[in-house]
Amino acid sequence: MLLDEKRTKRIVRIVAILTSIAFAGVGVVVIALVIFGGTPTASEQLVKDARSRVKAEPDNPDAWNQLAAALQSGNKTAEAVDAGKKAVQLAPKDFRQTQVLVTIYAQAGRTDDALAALQQFTRRNPKEPQAFLQLGQLSQQAGKNDLARLSYQAYLGLNSDGATADAVRNAIKDLSPGAGSTVTTTP
């Protein structure tokens, strides 16, 4: 019986020592991660790289849009919007800059802000057909049929040929009052 108690005590000591070593090892790893930081996620690395680019090229709108897209991928919408606005401010005539901002707004469910950004762009650049097309599409999706119709008409005034123009004409027909509904009368 004494032998069993000695073995049991020895096993308990060994387990206690191993457990202490394991907890100490985990503690060291946790402390190292806190002090030195862990490996950044892919989106964190994108943000870090984009911030470095903005720092190196503060007047480059593409750098700001890269930062905006990276921030949006990391679910930092407010910061992404600020970076997107900066890109638009640096290149107010470049539709690509506005498209990134509009995409951020749309992904965040801020359709009215997206529409406002497109409307501001079309006021500054009334000869950009793609802006009117996107404004028409987004307006139509939001149920703002009058704005969609006007935007599509502006698009057709700038680009009246091709398959897209034909699709826009069909969209205008669909947006017309009474489109899609039939009225029947009984005698």
Average pLDDT over residues 133-152: 93
More confident residue, 31 or 122: 122
Q: How far apart are the first and last CA of the chain?
A: 108
Q: What is the pTM of this model?
A: 0.71
Contact 100, 65 (CB under 8 A): yes
Query: Which of 10-43 are b and which e, b meaning 16 or more Cβ less than 10 Å from the residue's Cβ?
Result: eeeeeeeeeeeeeeeeeeeeeeeeeeeeeeeeee
Average pLDDT over residues 86-93: 95
- pLDDT tens track for 144-171: 999 999 999 999 999 888 888 888 999 8
Nearest to 83 by CA among 64, 101, 69, 106: 64
Write down the pLDDT at residue 164.
86
Angle at CA 87, nearest 5°, toward 86 and 92?
Answer: 105
